[in-house]
């Protein structure tokens, strides 16, 4: 009979425990495809990545007690390649805009064995801001109706392309009445700067980059189509079925990313500029109070309707496969995330922010290079402050005002200003500004001239 020495039992037990632990230990790879050049995806992409928010919420107990996570992020210029990588199972999650989302769902449903789920939104603009049509800054085109017979470029297949088709149709311009060119955002922006194209339609934040760099001028904002512009998160269904808690954790991270931005938008856009290279002043147009983007992961019935509308456009124009929206969209994970965070999902789902209503009465802003964001309740005090800053020769990063018709946040320097007595009103488009001036006995003036009126006179 072989005796096991007394001291040998604990060693054996320890060894067996280690063996069991190593057998049960599992590494879960989590691969996420995001877009650092697409503002509306940031709360499910770059912010989570850089702040390590996913790590914060990933489960570490129960079935996940012995699990290790291998998180990887891949940055893409558009949504199409993310879908291809998800099909190849090299990405589990994808973050993209509405048109690529639809293609993602449809391409997966076209396969026999693979599916994705639309599990959460990132943000939206209820009326469609984020997409816009821009002309060269020196162009004499001020309205979409003037684009008849002109050359207009757009990234075909994008949300901006869908917006352009609808906008032109809404304004009575048939597809054979203008020359449509297929151009990537970078090429379109370069052509606008060089005056090589009459107009370019693009998605967030390209139009605002062109405006900020003073190479382009917005003549049409996507909000005029009235179709919501939204972005969201898709996940491979097989991954979601195997690790549902991980998907819920991801949505919790999306929620906290939104909170972090709302907490201090100036800090957020300054940090995001460092992560993405997109100018912070441009990002502020999206992420500040009254900005183009409402951060909200909930899935609203209006979104489903908007996505169905967009799918119709894609089917008609580029033969995208059918998409069963009921099978594709699920609120299970986003509801679970809200519950885990102690938030009221239904209450937030019921809120839809309309900039025309929500932005009425918001203060005008000056982003002082040294003092940060300064707010003003009315235009005269805003202009007087600008005059003072210019007298001091201080640096201003950007100024922000609102289009009186749509509530759209604008750069002060790109807005059309109307002075009526002591009042000043700002507009996105020249036509509306001229109409307002004529109806109110006002005058259309340049931003610099409006500031000049507040400069102290000598003597």
Partner 1 sequence: MNRTLSTLWQTMRTDWRALALWGLSFAILAQVLMMIALMVRFQDVPNYVEFYDWFGNVFWIIQSTPSWGDIPPIIAEEWLIEIGFMNYDYGMGISEWSLNVIPSRMVVLFGLGALVGLCRTLARSNTCSLEERRGLTAATGVGTVLVSMTNATMSWVVCCAAPSWVVGLAMLGLGVSTSLAIQDLGPLISGSGFAVLGTLALYLSWTKSRGLRMNGVASHA
By rule CB under 8 A, what string of x and - marks binding of each residue 322-361 to partner 1? Answer: ----------------------------------------
Stretch that binds partner 1, among 65-73, 314-322, 346-354, 436-444 (CB under 8 A): 314-322
Interatomic CA distance for residues 66 and 23, integer angstroms = 10
**Residues near partner 1 (CB under 8 A), total:** 50
Task: Name the residue among 56, 114, 62 with its Cα closest to residue 83.
Answer: 114
Strand arrangement, sheet containing 26-34: 67-75, 26-34, 93-97, 229-236, 116-125, 294-295
Nearer to partner 1, 102 or 418 (CB): 102
Is 50 a residue that touches partner 1 (CB under 8 A)? no
> Judged by CB, which is closer to partner 1: 329, or 334?
329
The closest alpha carbon to 252, from 82, 48, 91, 94, belongs to: 48
Considering only residues 117 to 176 of the shown chain, the ones binding partner 1 according to CB under 8 A are 155-159, 161, 175
Q: Please state, in angstroms and rounded to a whole number, the distance separating the CA atoms of residues 110 and 103.
A: 10
Q: Considering only residues 13, 65, 194, 318, which one is a binding residue for partner 1 as defined by CB under 8 A?
A: 318
| DSSP alpha helix (H) spans, 264-344 | 265-276, 280-287, 301-318, 325-328, 332-341
- The DSSP call for residue 39 is G
* Least CB distance to partner 1 at residue 226 (A): 21
The gap between the terminal CA atoms of the chain, to the nearest Å, is: 115
The reply on whether position 433 binds partner 1 by CB under 8 A is no
Please state, in angstroms and rounded to a whole number, the distance separating the CA atoms of residues 178 and 147. Answer: 7
Residues 278-307 touching partner 1, rule: CB under 8 A, are: 278
Does residue number 194 form part of the binding site for partner 1 (CB under 8 A)? no
Give the chain's count of helices (H) and strands (E): 20, 18
Segment lying near partner 1 (by CB under 8 A), choices 109-117, 286-294, 301-309, 390-398: 109-117
Phi, psi of 16 (to 5 degrees): -65, -40
Rule CB under 8 A: is residue 78 a binding residue for partner 1? yes
Shortest distance (Å) from residue 68 CB to partner 1: 20
Of the candidates 147, 167, 153, the residue with the CA atom closest to the CA atom of residue 222: 167
Which is nearer to partner 1, 39 or 397 (by Cβ)?
Answer: 39
In angstroms, give the least distance from the CB of 106 to partner 1. Answer: 9
Stretch that binds partner 1, among 16-24, 77-85, 330-338, 375-383 (CB under 8 A): 77-85
For residues 282 and 264, give the distance between their C-alpha atoms in angstroms, rounded to a whole number: 16
Which residues make up the interface to partner 1 (CB under 8 A)? 36-37, 75, 77-81, 84, 87-90, 97, 99-100, 102-103, 111-114, 155-159, 161, 175, 180-187, 189-190, 203, 209, 238, 276-278, 314, 317-320
């Amino acid at each position: 009979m072989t005796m096991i020495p007394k001291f040998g039992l604990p060693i054996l037990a320890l060894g067996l425990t280690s063996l069991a632990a190593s057998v049960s230990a599992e590494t879960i790879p989590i691969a996420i495809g995001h877009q650092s050049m697409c503002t509306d995806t940031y709360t499910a992409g770059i912010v989570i990545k850089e702040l390590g928010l996913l790590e914060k919420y990933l489960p570490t107990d129960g079935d996940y007690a012995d699990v290790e996570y291998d998180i990887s992020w891949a940055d893409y210029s558009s949504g199409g390649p993310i879908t291809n990588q998800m099909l190849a199972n090299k990405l589990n999650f994808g973050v993209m805009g509405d048109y690529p989302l639809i293609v993602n769902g449809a391409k997966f449903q076209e396969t026999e064995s693979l599916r994705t789920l639309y599990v959460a939104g990132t943000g939206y603009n209820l009326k469609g801001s984020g997409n816009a049509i821009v002309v060269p800054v020196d162009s004499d085109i001020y309205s979409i109706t003037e684009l008849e017979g002109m050359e207009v470029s757009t990234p075909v297949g994008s949300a901006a392309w869908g917006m352009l088709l609808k906008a032109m149709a809404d304004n009575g311009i048939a597809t054979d009445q203008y020359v449509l060119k297929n151009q990537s955002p970078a090429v379109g922006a370069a052509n606008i700067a060089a005056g090589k194209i009459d107009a370019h339609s693009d998605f967030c934040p390209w139009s605002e980059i062109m405006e900020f760099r003073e190479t382009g001028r917005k003549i049409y904002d996507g909000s005029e189509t009235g179709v919501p512009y939204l972005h969201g998160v898709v996940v491979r269904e097989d991954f979601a079925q195997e690790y549902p808690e991980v998907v819920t954790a991801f949505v919790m991270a999306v929620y906290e990313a939104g909170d972090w931005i709302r907490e201090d938008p100036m800090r957020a856009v300054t940090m995001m500029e460092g992560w993405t290279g997109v100018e912070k002043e441009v990002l502020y147009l999206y992420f500040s109070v009254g900005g183009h983007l409402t951060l909200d992961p909930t899935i609203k019935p209006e979104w489903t309707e908007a996505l169905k509308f967009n799918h119709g456009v894609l089917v008609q124009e580029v033969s995208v496969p059918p998409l069963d929206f009921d099978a594709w969209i699920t609120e299970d994970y986003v509801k679970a995330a809200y519950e885990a965070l102690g938030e009221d999902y239904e209450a937030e789902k019921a809120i839809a922010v309309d900039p025309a209503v929500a932005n009425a009465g918001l203060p005008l802003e000056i982003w002082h290079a040294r003092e940060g964001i300064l707010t003003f309740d009315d235009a005269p005090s805003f202009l007087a402050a600008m005059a003072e800053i210019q007298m001091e020769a201080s640096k201003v990063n950007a100024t922000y005002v609102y289009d009186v018709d749509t509530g759209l946040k604008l750069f002060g320097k790109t807005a059309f200003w109307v002075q009526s007595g002591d009042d000043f009103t700002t507009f996105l488009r020249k036509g509306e500004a001229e109409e307002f001036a004529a109806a109110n006995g006002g005058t259309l003036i340049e931003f610099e001239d409006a500031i000049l009126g507040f400069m102290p006179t000598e003597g």
